[in-house]
Amino acid sequence: MISVAVLGYGTVGSGVVEVFRQNQEKIDRCAGDQVRIKYVLDLRDFPEDPVQELIVHDFEKIVSDESVDIVVEVMGGLEPAYTFVKRSLEAGKNVVTSNKALVAAHGAELLKTAKENHVNYLFEASVGGGIPIIRPLVSSLTADEIEEITGILNGTTNYMMTKMFYEGADYDEVLKEAQANGFAERNPEADVEGMDACRKIAILSSIVSGKQVDFRDIYTEGITKITVQDMRYAKQMNAVIKLLATMKRDEEKLEAVVAPFILPAEHPLASVNGVFNAIFVHGNALGDAMFYGSGAGKMPTASAVAADIVEAAKYRNETICEYWSGERLELESRLDVKRKFFVRMSGSRAAYEERIRNTFGKVEFVEADGCEGEFGFITDVMKEGEYEDAAARFDNVIHMIRAAS
Amino acid sequence: MISVAVLGYGTVGSGVVEVFRQNQEKIDRCAGDQVRIKYVLDLRDFPEDPVQELIVHDFEKIVSDESVDIVVEVMGGLEPAYTFVKRSLEAGKNVVTSNKALVAAHGAELLKTAKENHVNYLFEASVGGGIPIIRPLVSSLTADEIEEITGILNGTTNYMMTKMFYEGADYDEVLKEAQANGFAERNPEADVEGMDACRKIAILSSIVSGKQVDFRDIYTEGITKITVQDMRYAKQMNAVIKLLATMKRDEEKLEAVVAPFILPAEHPLASVNGVFNAIFVHGNALGDAMFYGSGAGKMPTASAVAADIVEAAKYRNETICEYWSGERLELESRLDVKRKFFVRMSGSRAAYEERIRNTFGKVEFVEADGCEGEFGFITDVMKEGEYEDAAARFDNVIHMIRAAS
């Protein structure tokens, strides 16, 4: 019998309890042993819920109980999550989590603590919710050098981008609607400013490089400046606009950015709509692959947490994945990264065309219905620093959006 | 040092050698040991190729060499592949393969032999080429009951369906083109009649159920009867036509079929075009997920084979996956499976409408440009047996295509 303690009976925690109730038999079969939830830590009581008999209010009871093999941290936030995880690992307990903020901030240290105590720190649910991505990266794509990971890693913003693109609704309207039906938080900053996606791509970049990629080093731009006009230009170019979190890697060089991108309609990520997430991976042998599914939500996230519990149960006295070391990886400067840029300028194309060609080199102009008194163009591949130098020579730039190829 | 013998220096075998050359360092790191190809078995010599120094012509040399830990069977076909795999396993060697025909035909027996000899029989590359699907099913989706797997599992037919849909080309023309540029074999029967996809869904169904699903029990219909007219109706219904291999499962009941399906445009599989494959999975906690990538081709397939070699290297004296037993699973009868059906009839809709409604119940009529002298309709959900009884009362049915929901 393997005993589990769940820290936090919120959305994900109650989902984990529910997955165990529904799929107990499958879980036991895959784990090769009986896996049972012994405690659920929460400050609250739940007198109407059968979970009540498992509820404890004091973490000490869990960490001091030697029969607890696996601790599931689904509280979120940095504290007390960090302290509870650290102490659980030090007590020789495996830890499973969905807490991306904690993994991104203290992953290297907690992985080291896990290794020193011959246990595992597993966090499949921290990226892409229910979508298996971390385990495929570390146990399936083992013969490939991963050269690119580009993800739609935030369901809230993808829902908003989809509505804006297909329904022509504007940003404020769509945000209000997303809040009204529960797809966006009252305070949506972590989603719309790209911070959530940034932590997720930091985790994936750390896994791929084997070194600590600090999320604070990743240039992050949210969707708050995207307008209906931008969407009209995208349609004109047979493209969509998506908030992408992307990393590219060439030998030891690694670049990462979170920003809205113009994405060609034929790209596999372009048809990922609504609250769904997807992660595009390019390996040097594999070529292109994509993993798609529910990036958030109670049951999908709980599915990934429960699968990590099964993994921890199978290998509970052996560290199976080291993921990454504490050595910090310095990212390529954003200014040195090459790509195309889509630019909107006010004024008439005719008046600026020559100056634009002289400054940016080869460009392709775009005009869109409903965007009068302005025009757009897409540059050739250039460094972001070069783009910025060129753009600084114009005082009529309305907006720039990076273009994915 | 872990020694590998590759049986067959064809497309996949030479790809495996190439992946090892390119990604040796990553492979060794993930395997936790030096993994080296010691032999390549082929009847031919390759004097111009550095592989020549590894070439042997006699399988006995491999099976009798105790230093060989892993045998890679990438010859295809049933014999001598079966004998070589069986003898390798009996000699205590792990076997990795991309040979779906052999896995579908003798999987249960070879898995048992592997277990008896404390080694592994791994075949990630047999389904979906480079797309990780088997390992995610058995090691990531362990807390879910898998209720549905629906795949575009054959690149040749998906390429043809895509061309017919988007370019309005007819079947014979598209087949010739696919043959000319190497996407279809001279003898395309295994692809276009659905036999290749059938073996793949049989393997996935066996994994999900834990029992032997015999590919000969799966009703299989190819794409040879799909016409440009069918595509026109599909467009009219905001749908596409894809060759799907699908299994659905409810408790112990399992249904499986390979056939062309009308698929709504918003389904994640609908935008999988060209030679790409994708596998849609529905879990009772996870919800919908999809795995997308190159379903065939030298390097993607070799990537999956090499990843299995890494896995076998890590766990070479321990059977990590039993997958399924020899107990044969009886499938649900095709006649009892419920779905909608799209039907084309000759004649005028007005003349038949009342009789159709009386016989099929609720239906929705469709008319398409370029399909004069006929009409189409889509039924409500009904058993296939009921559909057949109803259709038998009409002598003007041109074609029926199942509809996916």
Distance (Å, rounded) from C-alpha B183 to C-alpha B179? 6
Given CB atoms, is A50 within the 8 Å cutoff of chain B? Answer: no
Given CB atoms, is B287 within the 8 Å cutoff of chain A? Answer: yes
pLDDT reported for residue B44: 97
Residue B274 marked ligand-binding? no
Which of A142, A271, A303 has its CB closest to that of B286? A303
pLDDT higher for B316 or B146? B146
- Cα three-residue angle B339-B340-B343, rounded to 5 degrees: 140
Q: Mean pLDDT throughout B153-162?
A: 96
What fold characterizes domain B134-292? Dihydrodipicolinate Reductase; domain 2 (3.30.360)
Which of A23, A142, A309 has its CB closest to that of B285? A23
pLDDT reported for residue A405: 80
Portion of chain B with pLDDT greater than 90, in percent: 95
Given CB atoms, is B190 within the 8 Å cutoff of chain A? Answer: no
Q: Which of A12, A75, A99 is nearest to A299 (CA)?
A: A12
DSSP 8-state symbol, A140:
I
H-type helices in A117-188, by residue range? 134-135, 155-167, 171-180
Asked if A142's CB is within 8 angstroms of B307's CB, the reply is yes
Return the residue of B nearest to A31 by Cα: B142
Return the residue of A nearest to B124 by Cα: A140
In the numeric block, the tokens 């925690």 are attached to A13
Residue B296 above 90 pLDDT?
Answer: no
Asked if B144's CB is within 8 angstroms of A307's CB, the reply is yes
pLDDT reported for residue B354: 96
Distance (Å, rounded) from C-alpha A295 to C-alpha A311? 20
Question: Contacts of residue B32 in chain A, CB cutoff 8 Å?
Answer: none
Asked if A285's CB is within 8 angstroms of B19's CB, the reply is yes
pLDDT reported for residue B368: 95
Residue B308's φ and ψ, nearest 5 degrees, are: -65, -35
Q: Which two tokens stand for residue B368?
A: 């398409």
Question: Contacts of residue A132 in chain B, CB cutoff 8 Å?
Answer: 136, 140-141, 289
Give pLDDT < 70 ranges for chain A. none
Instruction: List, in order, residues 6 or more apart from B173 with CB less than 8 Å away.
Output: none
Distance (Å, rounded) from C-alpha A287 to C-alpha B130? 8
Q: Which of B128, B111, B127, B131 is nearest to B119 (CA)?
A: B111
Question: Contacts of residue A283 in chain B, CB cutoff 8 Å?
Answer: 130, 303
pLDDT reported for residue A261: 98
Q: Would residue A200 show up in a list of annotated catalytic residues for this protein?
A: yes
Instruction: For an interface test with B, give the residue of A135, A208, A269, A303 to mutate (most B CBs within 10 A).
Output: A303
Instruction: List, in order, residues 6 or more apart from A176 with CB less than 8 Å away.
Output: none
Encode A352-387: b = buried (16+ Cβ within 10 Å), e = exposed.
Answer: beeebeebbeebeebebeebeebbbbbbeebebebb
Given CB atoms, is A55 within the 8 Å cutoff of chain B? Answer: no
Asked if B135's CB is within 8 angstroms of A136's CB, the reply is yes
Distance (Å, rounded) from C-alpha B342 to C-alpha B227? 14
Strand partners, B300: none
Mean pLDDT of chain B: 96
Asked if B139's CB is within 8 angstroms of A139's CB, the reply is yes
In Å, how far is B372's CA from the nearest CA of chain A? 33
What fold characterizes domain A134-293? Dihydrodipicolinate Reductase; domain 2 (3.30.360)
Given CB atoms, is B271 within the 8 Å cutoff of chain A? Answer: yes
pLDDT reported for residue B196: 96
Model pLDDT for residues B49-86, shown as the tens digit of each residue: 999 999 999 999 999 999 999 999 999 999 999 999 99
Residues of chain A with CATH 3.30.70.1150: 334-403
Q: How far does CA A25 lie from the centroid of its chain?
A: 31
Given CB atoms, is B300 within the 8 Å cutoff of chain A? Answer: yes
Q: Which of A10, A133, A6 is nearest to A68 (CA)?
A: A6
Q: Mean pLDDT throughout B274-293?
A: 97
- Contacts across the A-B interface (CB distance below 8 Å): 174
pLDDT reported for residue A307: 97
pLDDT reported for residue A182: 85
Q: Which of A43, A31, A89 is nearest to A63 (CA)?
A: A89
Q: Confidence class of residue B16 from pLDDT cuts 50, 70 and 90?
A: very high
Instruction: For an interface test with A, give the residue of B286, B308, B318 to mutate (most A CBs within 10 A).
Output: B286
- Domain B334-403 -> CATH class: alpha beta
User: Of the listed B200, B242, B248, B298, which one is catalytic?
Assistant: B200
Q: Which of A120, A118, A152, A119 is nearest to A133 (CA)?
A: A152
In A197-349, the DSSP E strands lie at 219-220, 239-250, 253-264, 276-283, 287-294, 338-346
Give the other-Cβ count within 10 Å of B381's Cβ: 12
Q: Which of B260, B240, B236, B242 is nearest to B366 (CA)?
A: B236
Residues of chain A with CATH 3.40.50.720: 2-129+299-314
Asked if A241 and A174 count as a contact pair (C-beta separation under 8 A), the reply is no
Asked if A292's CB is within 8 angstroms of B30's CB, the reply is no
Given CB atoms, is A238 within the 8 Å cutoff of chain B? Answer: no
pLDDT reported for residue A100: 96
Distance (Å, rounded) from C-alpha B224 to C-alpha B15? 31
SS (H, E, C) chain B: CEEEEEECCCHHHHHHHHHHHHHHHHHHHHHCCCEEEEEEECCCCCCCCHHHHHEECCHHHHHCCCCEEEEEECCCCCCCHHHHHHHHHHCCCEEEECCHHHHHHHHHHHHHHHHHCCCCEECHHHCCCCCCCHHHHHHHCCCCCEEEEEEECCHHHHHHHHHHHHHCCCHHHHHHHHHHCCCCCCCCHHHHCCHHHHHHHHHHHHHHHCCECCHHHCEECCCCCCCHHHHHHHHHCCEEEEEEEEEEEECCEEEEEEEEEEEECCCHHHHCCCCEEEEEEEECCCEEEEEEEECCCHHHHHHHHHHHHHHHHHCCCCCCCCCCCCCECCCCCHHHCEEEEEEEEECCHHHHHHHHHHHHCCEEEECCCCCCCEEEEEECCEEHHHHHHHHCCCCCEEEEEEECC
Given CB atoms, is B179 within the 8 Å cutoff of chain A? Answer: no
Asked if A134 and A123 count as a contact pair (C-beta separation under 8 A), the reply is yes
Q: Mean pLDDT throughout B271-291?
A: 96
ipTM: 0.95
Residue B346 marked ligand-binding? no
Model pLDDT for residues B213-227, shown as the tens digit of each residue: 999 999 999 999 999
Question: Contacts of residue A18 in chain B, CB cutoff 8 Å?
Answer: 285
Give the other-Cβ count within 10 Å of B372's Cβ: 8
Question: Contacts of residue B292 in chain A, CB cutoff 8 Å?
Answer: 268, 289-292
Which of A135, A288, A302 has its CB closest to that of B285? A302
Residue B181 above 90 pLDDT?
Answer: no
In Å, how far is B37's CA from the nearest CA of chain A? 14
- Domain A2-129+299-314 -> CATH class: alpha beta
Given CB atoms, is A285 within the 8 Å cutoff of chain B? Answer: yes
Residue B252 above 90 pLDDT?
Answer: no
In Å, how far is B355's CA from the nearest CA of chain A? 40
Given CB atoms, is A302 within the 8 Å cutoff of chain B? Answer: yes
Asked if A312 and A120 count as a contact pair (C-beta separation under 8 A), the reply is yes
Distance (Å, rounded) from C-alpha B139 to C-alpha B384? 35
Q: How far does CA A227 lie from the centroid of its chain?
A: 23
Give the other-Cβ count within 10 Å of A79's Cβ: 9
Residue B13 marked ligand-binding? yes
Asked if B145's CB is within 8 angstroms of A23's CB, the reply is yes
Asked if A284's CB is within 8 angstroms of B22's CB, the reply is yes
User: Of the listed A38, A93, A163, A200, which one is catalytic?
Assistant: A200
Given CB atoms, is A260 within the 8 Å cutoff of chain B? Answer: no
3-state secondary structure of A280: strand
3-state secondary structure of A329: coil
